[in-house]
Amino acid sequence: MSQAFAPIPPDETRPLPLAGVRVLDIATMAAAPWSAAYLAEFGADVIKVEMPGIGDHQRRWGTPKKGVSLFWKSMGRNKRSITLHLGKPKGAALFKRLVADADVIIENFRPGTLERWGIGYEVLRAINPRLILLRVTGFGQSGPYRSRPGFGTLAESLTGFAHLTGYPDGPPTLPNGPLADGVAGITGAFAVMVALYYRDTRRGVGQVIDLSLCEPLLRLMEPALLDYDQLGIARGRIGNRSDHVAPRNIYQCGDGRWVALSASAQPIFERLMHAIGHPELCSDPRFAVNSARLAHVEELDELISAWMRQHTRDEVLAHLEAAEVAVAPVYDIPDIFADPHFQARASLVTVPDADLGTIRMVNVVPRLSETPGRVCTTGPALGEHNDEVYSALGLSREELDQLQREGVI
């Protein structure tokens, strides 16, 4: 196994690639803080700026244990937490002092909110011309929907994702998880890295990144959008099949368990047909090429399903894997923790936590051979790093106590 793809053992002494990049994460909930988390995993100093006494709403979202949000522990990993009321004049003034040494600000307030508080980009850029501002909203900084409240659920609906998910005789279906937020979070981190590269290698100036929750997910919908634009085909729900390749589906085995199969590539389709005892179908006009298979997908799926029903899932997997057919079990959550491949790659990492002892969470992705990221800490307590961060600005103990009494921090 090459070093680039081998699990990289933790090395607490190895410098992380984004060390020296300072990020002010003033956002809440999922998408924008996720962008900050990706940067923190590779060494950016992410200071989580939260409302005094309240904090990020993410702290109260998801399943709790001992009164602590489990998702927050991952979303806040590698970050430092301070409290600051940005809507108060003294809070805005203190924020400007933090901005002077920052590289990136990540926010997800409705358009115009920062400007109303006197900390819009023009004001901040005058303090720090190299500043990059990532603005994540439901619908973007422009357009007729710009002022609407936005959540991932709305993006999953407006982009057509829910419309295409599910079975023809069932309702549109939302994902059981923050899909739009997750895709936007990754896109936001990518955008910040593009802006940092441009700033540091080209012009030396910062810029504003306008990211909506809708548009990253809309990019994933492109096959259906292209079909409509060029062919006038308005796709609908077709269950676990694909509009573009066949066979591709979820199949139930004889023991009631399920497998996912994708045999759309011609060589894999032919290996599949030999493996299930139907080599003659490789030259059958109904199935010989992908376009024909799509036209006769019901017949093809029934042939495959009939073979699946004659075998247990373990037998199906062993037989098809030996034939080099692309197949995988449909895992439930305990299966993920028990999977030997995920264990070998350390896809889940155990992290010490002050509240819960240890937590297993998803490891850093992607894997870089020379500059891997790592999970150093779980999400901090609200305001845990107030003294540390504000003392570095030169504030005295008496000043900090006064600001706390005034509700500024």
Per residue in 294-335, pLDDT (tens digit) is 999 999 999 999 999 999 999 999 999 999 999 999 999 999
Phi, psi of 23 (to 5 degrees): -120, 130
Residue with token string 């240890």: 358
Q: Is residue 237 part of a domain?
A: no
Residues 161, 287: one domain? no
Terminal-to-terminal C-alpha distance of the chain: 51
Q: Is residue 122 part of a domain?
A: yes
Q: Is residue 239 part of a domain?
A: no
* Residue 259, SS3 per DSSP: strand
CATH of the domain at 184: 3.40.50.10540
What is d(CA 114, CA 108) in angstroms, rounded to the nearest whole number?
A: 10
Residues 308, 393: one domain? no
* Annotation marks residue 169 as catalytic: no
pLDDT band of residue 40 (cuts 50, 70, 90) is: very high
Nearest to 235 by CA among 127, 159, 132, 345: 159
CATH of the domain at 317: 3.30.1540.10
Q: What is the pLDDT of residues 270-298, one digit of tens each?
A: 999 999 999 999 999 999 999 999 999 99
* pTM given for the model: 0.92
Residues 213, 75: one domain? yes
- Of 281, 300, 329, which residue constitutes the final position of a domain? 329
Residues 195, 89: one domain? yes
Percent of the chain surpassing pLDDT 70: 97
Residues 177, 76: one domain? yes
Q: Is residue 240 part of a domain?
A: no
Residues 69, 212: one domain? yes
Q: Total structural domains in the chain?
A: 2
Q: Are 172 and 237 in contact (CB under 8 A)?
A: yes
Q: Which domain holds residue 175?
A: 22-220+345-405
pLDDT at 32: 97
Catalytic residue chosen out of the listed positions 25, 45, 56, 181: 181
Residues 50, 160: one domain? yes
Residues 121, 187: one domain? yes
Q: Is residue 236 part of a domain?
A: no
